[in-house]
Amino acid sequence: SWFQTAQLPCLLGPLACILVPCFCLLFHKLEQYFNALTCLSTMASNVSVIFFCQLLLEAALEGAMTQVWAAASCIVEDAGAYGAIEHRLRTEQTHNILTLLILVNTLLLIILGVLDLRWTTLLTQVFCNVTVSVYMTVMVDIRSAAVQKMFMWQSLWLVAFMFSTRLTLQWRKSFHVKLLLETHIALGRKADSVLNHTLKNTMA
C-alpha cells in the first residue's frame, strides 16, 4: 500500500542514527566527525519521525473510517454524524500519535545526551524541541490537549537536557582529576630521577 511504501524513507533517519556509531567504530578516520555525524543523523531522525507520524495518522484515520463505513453505511448518508465521527477519531488518534512522537524524540535526545555537551549537540537539542513543538501546535486543535502535550514534551526535553549536562560535567570532572593525577605522577617521576642523578653524582 501507499503507507508501506511511504514509511520506508521515514525510517532512514533512525536507521542512520544507529549506523553512524557503528561506522565510526569500524572506520577510525570518521572518529573526528563522530559528534557532527551523530547530530546530523539525530536531526534527520527527528524530521523523519514527524513525517512518519503524519503518514501514520492519515493511514489510521483512513482505515478507521473505512471500518465505520463498512459497519454502519447509513451514517455516511448523514453528513453531520459522519463529520463528527471523523473529527472524534482524528482527535483521539492525534493524541496517541503525539504521545508516540514525544517518546521517540525523548529517546533520541537521551541517546544524543551520551555525547559531550557542545554547541553542536545543544543546537541539535534545540532543533528537536522547536520542530516537535511546532508540529504539536499545528496538529492539536483542542487548547487544553495542546497545553497538556506541550507540557509533557517540554518536561521530558528538560530532563534529557539536564541528563546531558550532568553527564558532561561528570566526564569533565573525571578528565580533570585524571589529568591532575597524571601530572603529579609525572612530576614525582621527574623528582625521583633528579634525586637519583644527584645521589649518583654525590657518591661518585
In tens, the pLDDT along 75-132 reads 656 667 667 777 777 778 888 888 888 888 888 888 777 776 778 888 888 999 999 9
Q: How does 131-163 read in b/e, with b if 16+ C-beta sit within 10 Å?
A: bbeebbeebbeeeebbeebbebbeebbeebbee
pLDDT in tens, 130-187: 999 888 888 776 666 778 888 888 999 998 888 888 877 776 777 777 777 777 777 7
Residue 183 is placed in which grid cell? 601530572
- Please list, in sequence order, all residues whose beta carbon lies within 8 angstroms of the beta carbon of residue 191, skipping any fewer than 6 positions away: none
| pLDDT of res. 10 | 59
Q: Are 166 and 158 in contact (CB under 8 A)?
A: no
Which residues does 151 contact at the CB level (< 8 Å), separation at least 6? none
Distance between CA atoms of residues 99 and 164, nearest Å = 22
Would the pLDDT of 201 be above 80? no
43 band by pLDDT with thresholds 50, 70 and 90: confident
Cα separation, 92 vs 57, whole angstroms: 10
Q: How far apart are CA 68 and CA 45, in angstroms?
A: 34
Triad 118, 120, 122: Cα angle to 5°: 70
**Which range among 10-24, 47-61, 86-100 shows the weakest confidence by mean pLDDT?**
10-24
Reduced to 3 states, what is the DSSP secondary structure of residue 131? helix
What is residue 72's predicted lDDT score, i.e. its pLDDT? 65
Separation between Cα atoms, residue 16 and residue 38, nearest integer Å: 9
CA distance 17 to 104: 13
The DSSP H or E segment spanning 28 is none
Minimal CA–CA distance to 125: which of 137, 108, 138? 108
Query: So what's the pLDDT on residue 29?
Result: 67
HSE toward the beta carbon, residue 52, CA cutoff 13 A:
20
**pLDDT mean over 20-43:** 73
Contacts of 99 by beta carbon, 8 Å cutoff, 6+ apart: 149, 152
